[in-house]
Chain A
């Protein structure tokens, strides 16, 4: 049987191998993705982000459980950082995800950022496509532990959850731009700790300070204790309330378009990058340009125009 057909039937080994090829940028992977793409677009993508140690992985573990109890098939993509020094990585999310489904309906994949910034890895979207094609109803994406500006997840998720825990600073932190603005749902995890109610209140004040039109989604704040599952059923209900909102408001369609846009941009960028590294960087052309720039015979801005003209001038113009 062909790889694509195996994946469409939910074959874990086949999907897993393709994901490996995608990560390693094996030449065949793109062809397989081309064949899979028409079968994607059904899974609902939920992103979970937040600072290191707030309990994202444990929260996902309990979400997996409640989704499974609702007879849903769940995929998880858990991203952890690669070392900028050695390129190695400790992928330590999965150790928290102990919920076991005997029928393998839960597929968890750990991936390293491999130098990618923004909280995701370069191939997250393609990984989502594979899980989607396998027939997963929900794909949960756990970002690397992030601070303020790693908001790429909100560009690819239908529902973005930002998790926090008590002890993370005062009200000023809630006023800053970035990740808190991008959340569809805010979660205060470790809610048994001192300061949880206070943090929830501050977040609600933050939300109420903004102006929402009636047709806009207004994020709610939820208290959870991921370690014992408290509050997680309510969180799941909120995810579905947001999904219903997106369906009625047309947001779901807009999200699909947003993802398609990002996917296309990424594919172009990746193609151009590879083209440059294969066709240009391997000869003396760039070296000559660099030495000309250093000697002020030309400038970097003209050099870029020259290169891009060579690249796309003849085909797109």
Chain B
């Protein structure tokens, strides 16, 4: 019974998103990979961070396609820094946004960035999360 450590992920999306398919699909992938996934849905960056703090998650996953991943990501990571969870939490983001945003998002602190394309597969997303948590 001992050592039942499991990766815990918080899945959320910016407040004005309306499509849940991406979020639910990735959440199910994580569940099938043996992780515990807290579904939050649409939220503001502050509340996503507050929730991550209360839930003591290892990973925060953002699904977005409303067109402002950089602005949203910056706010999110700033609050995470303020609340002291940025260092010990892995942040990943995926959805429909221009691949040219990828370097900016990575520089900001997202360890996994998944714009549309061959990079966003089940294996790659899960490997990214597992690798980030091990660190």
Residues of A at the B interface (CB closer than 8 Å) are 12-13, 16-17, 19-20, 23-25, 82-83, 86-92, 94-95, 100, 104, 107-110, 112, 114, 270, 273-274, 277-278
The interface size of chain B toward A, counting residues with CB under 8 Å, comes to 31
Chain A nearest Cβ from B10, distance in angstroms = 9
Contact between B33 and A86, CB atoms less than 8 A apart: yes
Q: Which residues of B contact A20 (CB under 8 A)?
A: 8, 56
Contact between A83 and B31, CB atoms less than 8 A apart: yes
Chain B nearest Cβ from A141, distance in angstroms = 16
Stretch in B34-42, B61-69, B109-117 with 4+ CB within 8 Å of A: B34-42
Q: Which residues of A contact B83 (CB under 8 A)?
A: 13
Point out the residue from B2, B32, B39, B41 that lies within 8 Å of A86, measured CB to CB.
Answer: B32
Residues of B at the A interface (CB closer than 8 Å) are 1-6, 8, 27-28, 30-41, 47, 50-51, 53-56, 83-85
- How many Å lie between the Cα of A23 and that of B6 in the bound state? 9
Contact between B40 and A25, CB atoms less than 8 A apart: no
Contact between A89 and B39, CB atoms less than 8 A apart: no
Point out the residue from B3, B31, B40, B56 that lies within 8 Å of A95, measured CB to CB.
Answer: B40
Contact between B36 and A89, CB atoms less than 8 A apart: yes
- How many Å lie between the Cα of A277 and that of B3 in the bound state? 12
Q: Could you pull out 14 A-B pairs where Cβ atoms are within 8 angstroms? A: A13-B83, A16-B55, A24-B3, A88-B36, A90-B28, A92-B39, A95-B40, A100-B47, A108-B51, A109-B55, A110-B38, A112-B6, A274-B1, A277-B2
- How many Å lie between the Cα of A94 and that of B42 in the bound state? 12
Contact between A94 and B38, CB atoms less than 8 A apart: yes
Contact between B31 and A90, CB atoms less than 8 A apart: yes
A16-B39 contact given A24-B4, A25-B1, A87-B34, CB 8 Å threshold: no
- How many Å lie between the Cα of A16 and that of B56 in the bound state? 6
- How many Å lie between the Cα of A224 and that of B8 in the bound state? 33
Question: Looking across the interface, which residue of chain A has its beta carbon closest to that of B1?
Answer: A273
- How many Å lie between the Cα of A215 and that of B87 in the bound state? 56
Q: Which residues of B contact A114 (CB under 8 A)?
A: 4, 6
Point out the residue from A90, A104, A107 that lies within 8 Å of B37, measured CB to CB.
Answer: A90
Question: Looking across the interface, which residue of chain B has its beta carbon closest to that of A13?
Answer: B53
Q: Which residues of B contact A12 (CB under 8 A)?
A: 50, 53-54
Q: Which residues of B contact A95 (CB under 8 A)?
A: 39-41
Point out the residue from A25, A92, A110 that lies within 8 Å of B55, measured CB to CB.
Answer: A110
